[in-house]
């Protein structure tokens, strides 16, 4: 008993006095699931549980090339940065690697040379093929021949290519589909050159003379995310340097994707839809811009109340009203034939976002670059990339969970130290029932940071819980827990961090209910008391110690 009281007293004292700078810093609600992140300056990719404990790690010979994603078989796909000297922009990659659950490298594909380099993001299609982004080098002569303004030409220009890779063996893949931005240009500089026309009258084309930012930036478009819609067979990309996202028809052949006819849309590889910045195609001004350096444009998935709408992390850099970040959901409002609203001479609709989230004081949250957002059961899971911060917003728009990446280029740092250089491109969030976890050991280990404090998962459940006339004690508990209540209880359940539900045998003794927990493994659980309806009449944190 003395050791039990000492544990509780120590945790309470430390948890209330010490400052948490990294790892799990907030745990006000259960977030069943796991986070996967690859620190930008590290060779290691980490999987953590909702209590911020390491579940798994994978080690590469390359530092992160940005994106890392788990697959349905439990393997990890990860972009790596090979250090291509010809393409040195943000998000540079060059290789995609696949590791099995045990950490063995089972496939890789190098896409890095002096004329092309994979970067930022990729997505895996239902058939297992990989869609990814690559820079493509063009000379000044090539740019001028395509109508580049002679007063704004650089010795070299990076355009963008989308590639579909079909892995065929170790280190090998077939490129089975290609789309090039360079095939879909418009210019209003020289009528004697190809693709001459007013950008406003050809919104499905890309103005070679439009740019945001300094004229010295060779990274003209800077696509930073890619998503695939299997139902519509379309690709969605976030075009950072145009402050907009584009939708492209994937049903085309590579030949059709190079032109303006063919595919299910009949428009070949021309843009089907674009949104965020009508100035990019001559139908608006700065005040009409909606997106500012955005990242992670995705379709909301089937089953979500807003399935099919497009969600994007709007970084908000250089907003006219001040720098702040927001989440945006956009409803493209398809016509009766399922086509997007993209007509000559007008800005693509809608005029405003379907839904927007900002911090209560908008300027309190500003993530200058990187970052992303996922829809989860009752809210959203966000990555504040440059600060290595991940947090969960619930259905009431309240932040209820937060984790700060404790890893930089030298490895994990000590709890209490101020994190530096701990940026993360995007933390992926997976529900506890993600199929890729089936058959794999998810037993958590320790926290990643050095000298960790007792987890907020533990300290949040230390005091005896009271809810109206219901009291739970002791807490932490060892072999049994007593519920003081006069109400009817039909069942008592524990929910572990993976979402598994355990039924507890219980015995009523007057105004108390005794539950035997001797066979339950130590850990942090959600305790649920089920009434006669059956509806939970009480929910609280329960910590079991030995």
Measure the CA–CA gap between 50 and 60, rounded to whole angstroms: 25
Q: What Å distances lie between residue 122 and 172, 443, 525, CA to CA?
A: 17, 29, 36
In 3-state terms, what secondary structure has residue 17? Answer: helix
Asked if 317 and 294 count as a contact pair (C-beta separation under 8 A), the reply is no
The owner of tokens 């050991």 is 441
Rounded Cα distance between 328 and 162, Å, is 25
Task: Decide: 95 and 110 in contact? Cβ < 8 Å.
Answer: yes
Contact 380, 401 (CB under 8 A): no
pLDDT at 486: 66
Domains and CATH numbers, the chain: 18-453 (2.120.10.30), 457-544 (2.60.40.10)
Q: What is the structure's pLDDT at 533?
A: 65
Q: Which of 332, 385, 309 is nearest to 120 (CA)?
A: 385
* pLDDT for position 333: 83
Question: Do residues 58 and 69 touch, judged by C-beta distance below 8 A?
Answer: no
Residue among 204, 120, 209 at smallest CA distance from 161 = 120
Confirm if 486 and 468 have CB atoms less than 8 A apart. no
Give the pLDDT score at 499: 65
Burial state string for 301-333 with b = 16 or more CB within 10 A and e = fewer than 16: eeeeeeeebbbbbbbbbebeeebbbbbbbbebe
pLDDT of residue 16: 37
The count of C-alpha atoms lying within 13 angstroms of the C-alpha of 476, restricted to the half-sphere facing its C-beta, is 24
Q: Which residues pair with 480 in a beta bridge?
A: 516
Q: In what order do the strands lie in the sheet with 310-314?
A: 295-299, 310-314, 326-330, 355-357
User: Residue for token digits 């299609």?
Assistant: 125
Angle (CA) 294-297-298 rounded to 5° is 165
| C-alpha distances in Å from residue 540, one per residue of 401, 470, 486, 492, 495 | 16, 11, 18, 12, 11
Q: Would you state the pLDDT for residue 18?
A: 54
Q: Is 421 helix (H, G, I), strand (E, B) or coil?
A: coil
Half-sphere exposure at residue 309, Cβ-oriented, CA atoms within 13 angstroms: 20
Per-residue exposure over 460-492, b if at least 16 CB sit within 10 Å of its own CB, e if not: bbbeebeeeebbbebbbbeeebbbebeeebeeb
Instruction: Check: CB of residue 187 under 8 Å from CB of residue 94.
Output: no
- Tell me 10's DSSP state: H
Our measurement of the distance from residue 392's CA atom to the centroid of its chain's CA atoms, rounded to an integer in Å, reads 12
CB 52 within 8 A of CB 487: no
Contact between 163 and 152 (Cβ < 8 Å): no
Tokens of 309: 């709408």
Q: What is the mean pLDDT of each run of 10 residues along the chain (546 residues)?
A: 40 50 90 94 97 97 98 98 95 98 98 98 99 98 96 94 97 98 98 98 98 81 98 98 98 99 97 98 96 99 96 97 97 91 94 96 97 93 98 93 97 96 98 94 94 75 47 81 79 77 85 88 80 69 75
Which of 486, 453, 205, 214 shows the shortest CA–CA distance to 342? 205
Q: What is the pLDDT of residue 102?
A: 98
Q: How far apart are CA 537 and CA 470, in angstroms?
A: 9
Q: Cis bond leading into 401, ω under 30°? A: no
pTM score: 0.83
Other Cβ atoms within 10 Å of 417 Cβ, number: 13
Q: What is the dihedral of CA 143, 146, 150, 155, to 10 degrees?
A: 10
């Amino acid at each position: 008993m003395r050791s039990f009281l000492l544990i509780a007293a120590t945790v309470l004292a430390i948890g209330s006095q010490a400052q948490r700078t990294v790892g799990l810093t907030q745990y006000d609600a259960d977030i069943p699931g796991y986070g996967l992140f690859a620190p930008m300056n590290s060779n290691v990719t980490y999987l953590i549980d909702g209590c911020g404990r390491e579940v798994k790690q994978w080690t590469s010979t390359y530092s992160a090339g940005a994106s890392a994603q788990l697959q349905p078989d439990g393997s990890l796909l990860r972009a790596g940065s090979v250090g291509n000297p010809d393409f040195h922009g943000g998000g540079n990659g060059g290789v995609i690697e696949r590791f099995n659950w045990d950490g063995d490298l089972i496939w890789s594909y190098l896409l890095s040379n002096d004329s092309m380099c994979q970067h930022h993001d990729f997505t895996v299609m239902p058939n297992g093929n990989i869609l990814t982004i690559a820079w493509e080098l063009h000379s000044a002569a090539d740019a001028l021949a395509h109508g580049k303004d002679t007063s704004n030409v650089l010795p070299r220009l990076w355009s963008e290519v989308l590639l579909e890779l079909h892995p065929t063996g170790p280190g090998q893949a077939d490129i089975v589909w290609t789309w090039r931005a360079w095939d879909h240009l418009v210019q209003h500089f020289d009528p004697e050159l190809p693709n001459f026309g007013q950008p406003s009258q050809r919104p499905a084309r890309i103005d070679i003379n439009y740019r945001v930012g300094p004229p010295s930036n060779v990274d003209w478009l800077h696509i930073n995310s890619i998503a695939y819609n299997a139902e519509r067979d379309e690709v969605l990309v976030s075009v950072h340097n145009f402050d907009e996202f584009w939708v492209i028809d994937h049903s085309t052949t590579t030949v059709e994707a190079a032109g303006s006819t063919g595919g299910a849309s009949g428009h070949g590889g021309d843009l089907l839809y674009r949104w965020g910045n009508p100035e990019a195609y001559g139908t608006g001004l700065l005040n009409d811009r909606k997106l500012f350096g955005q990242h992670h444009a995705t379709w909301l998935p089937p089953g979500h109340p807003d399935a099919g709408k497009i969600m994007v992390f709007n970084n908000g850099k250089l907003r006219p009203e001040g720098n702040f970040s927001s989440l945006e959901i956009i409803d493209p409002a398809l016509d009766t034939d399922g086509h997007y609203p993209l007509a000559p001479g007008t800005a693509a609709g809608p005029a405003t976002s379907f839904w927007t989230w900002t911090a209560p004081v908008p300027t309190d949250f500003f993530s200058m670059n990187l970052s992303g957002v996922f829809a989860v059961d009752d809210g959203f899971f966000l990555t504040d990339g440059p600060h290595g911060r991940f947090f969960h917003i619930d259905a009431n728009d309240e932040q209820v969970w937060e984790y700060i990446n404790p890893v930089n280029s030298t490895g994990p740092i000590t709890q209490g130290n101020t994190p530096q250089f701990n940026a993360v491109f995007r933390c992926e969030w997976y529900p506890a029932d993600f199929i890729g976890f089936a058959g794999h050991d998810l037993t958590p280990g320790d926290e990643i940071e050095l000298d960790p404090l007792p987890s907020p998962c533990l300290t949040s459940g230390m005091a005896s819980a009271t809810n109206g006339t219901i009291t739970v004690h002791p807490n932490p508990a060892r072999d049994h827990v007593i519920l003081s209540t006069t109400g009817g209880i039909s069942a008592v359940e524990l929910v572990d961090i993976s979402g598994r539900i355990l039924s507890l045998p219980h015995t009523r003794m007057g105004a108390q209910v005794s539950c035997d927990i001797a066979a339950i493994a130590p850990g942090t659980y959600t305790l649920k008391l089920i009434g006669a309806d059956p509806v939970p009449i009480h929910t609280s944190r329960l910590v079991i110690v030995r």
